[in-house]
């Protein structure tokens, strides 16, 4: 058992929000994450769990406190696990220089190129290390595990679910980066983390994954605001087209007046928890 330090614990909506830190073997540094345990879990019942991935610049706390997700997770008796968006304080040269690379911008991939490859291993962290750790500590049901995220985290959730559909039983995304390999954010991160190897792109680009035969057995829920200031870089149409071509069920809901903010997330979050509850508690 890894040593885990409790940094904070707060009663919320009948359950408990906790912040924990552990020495991550994948990341090679201490990592902090948040978790919400509904009252059913506090009573010892094994509950479904949804992992929530934040966007650029977010921490392990941002999505939990700003999204309103806890209220609806409590209503459904679902736990939430919220990792950070990158390793921190790794000593990697340049990691704090830009908001969209390094700290706060791990893109949920395993870097293969130095200097990033030593610590920037968020893909393995959120799929291998964090679920195993949290499921060893708390009554979370590994057979009922979903994933969702916002923006860069929406991309991470889609990539995880399409690469490992047996591991993540349900998936949804809020304003996700749908086709990172063709836009500046994604190309910059992929060029750094993969050293310019385009062969890696198809493993972490939701649109390319769909085009190369990856699918998820459930319908994917995506919400996208049409006033989103980053709409041109998110490429929801590419995801819709790829899903249509391969027969992937996808419910892409577009909202005329919504932007990219947590105000948008607060507007639709109840539907995302209902989506996961329906899939995980069926």
Nearest-CA neighbor of 172 among 195, 183, 156?
156
**Touching a second copy, residues 11-40 (CB under 8 A):** 11-14, 17
Q: Using CB under 8 A, which of the segments 10-18, 77-85, 88-96, 109-117 binds a second copy?
A: 10-18
Helix or strand or coil: residue 69?
helix
User: What is the Cα–Cα distance from 14 to 39, expressed in whole angstroms?
Assistant: 6
Least separation in angstroms between residue 150's CB and a second copy is 14
52 is a contact residue toward a second copy (CB under 8 A)? no
Q: Which residues are known catalytic residues?
A: 151, 228, 260
* Residue 39 CB coordination number (10 Å): 14
CA distances for 106 relative to 54, 87, 124, 246, angstroms: 11, 7, 12, 29
Residue 254 binds a second copy (CB under 8 A):
no
- Distance, CA of 196 to CA of 176 (rounded, Å): 23
CA distances, 237 to each of 42, 82, 88, 240 (Å):
42, 28, 34, 5
Buried b / exposed e across 135-152, counting CB within 10 Å, b at 16+? bebbbbbeebbbbbbbbb
How many residues sit in the footprint of a second copy (CB under 8 A)? Answer: 23
Sketch the per residue contact string, 210 through 249, with a second copy: x for CB under 8 A, - otherwise: ---------------x-x----------------------
The contact mask relative to a second copy for 59-78 (x = CB under 8 A, - = no) is ------xx-x-xx-------
Told to check if 263 binds a second copy by CB under 8 A, we report: yes
Q: Which residue, 11 or 232, has its beta carbon nearer to a second copy? A: 11
The answer to the question of residue 266 lying near a second copy (CB under 8 A) is yes
Q: Applying CB under 8 A, which residues contact a second copy?
A: 10-14, 17, 65-66, 68, 70-71, 225, 227, 255, 257-259, 261-264, 266-267
């Amino acid at each position: 058992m890894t040593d885990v330090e409790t940094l904070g614990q707060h009663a919320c909506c009948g359950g408990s929000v906790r912040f924990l830190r552990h020495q991550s073997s994948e990341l090679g540094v201490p990592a902090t994450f948040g978790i919400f345990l509904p009252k059913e879990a506090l009573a010892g019942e094994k509950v479904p769990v949804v992992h929530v991935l934040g966007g650029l610049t977010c921490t392990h706390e941002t999505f939990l406190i700003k999204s309103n997700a806890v209220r609806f997770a409590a209503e459904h008796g679902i736990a939430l696990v919220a990792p950070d968006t990158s390793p921190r304080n790794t000593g990697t040269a340049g990691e704090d220089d830009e908001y969209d690379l390094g700290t706060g911008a791990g893109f949920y991939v395993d870097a293969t190129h130095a200097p990033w490859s030593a610590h920037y291993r968020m893909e393995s962290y959120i799929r291998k290390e964090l679920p195993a750790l949290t499921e060893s500590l708390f009554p979370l049901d590994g057979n009922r595990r979903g994933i969702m995220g916002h923006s860069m985290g929406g991309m991470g959730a889609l990539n995880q679910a399409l690469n490992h559909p047996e591991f993540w039983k349900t998936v949804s995304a809020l304003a996700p980066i749908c086709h990172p390999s063709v836009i500046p954010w994604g190309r910059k991160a992929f060029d750094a983390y993969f050293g310019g190897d385009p062969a890696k792109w198809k493993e972490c680009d939701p649109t390319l994954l769909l085009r190369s035969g990856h699918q998820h057995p459930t319908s994917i829920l995506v919400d996208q605001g049409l006033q989103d200031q980053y709409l041109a870089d998110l490429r929801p149409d590419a995801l819709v087209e790829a899903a249509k071509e391969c027969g992937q069920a996808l419910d892409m809901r577009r909202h005329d007046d919504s932007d990219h903010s947590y105000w948008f997330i607060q507007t639709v979050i109840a539907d995302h928890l209902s989506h996961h509850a329906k899939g995980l508690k069926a």
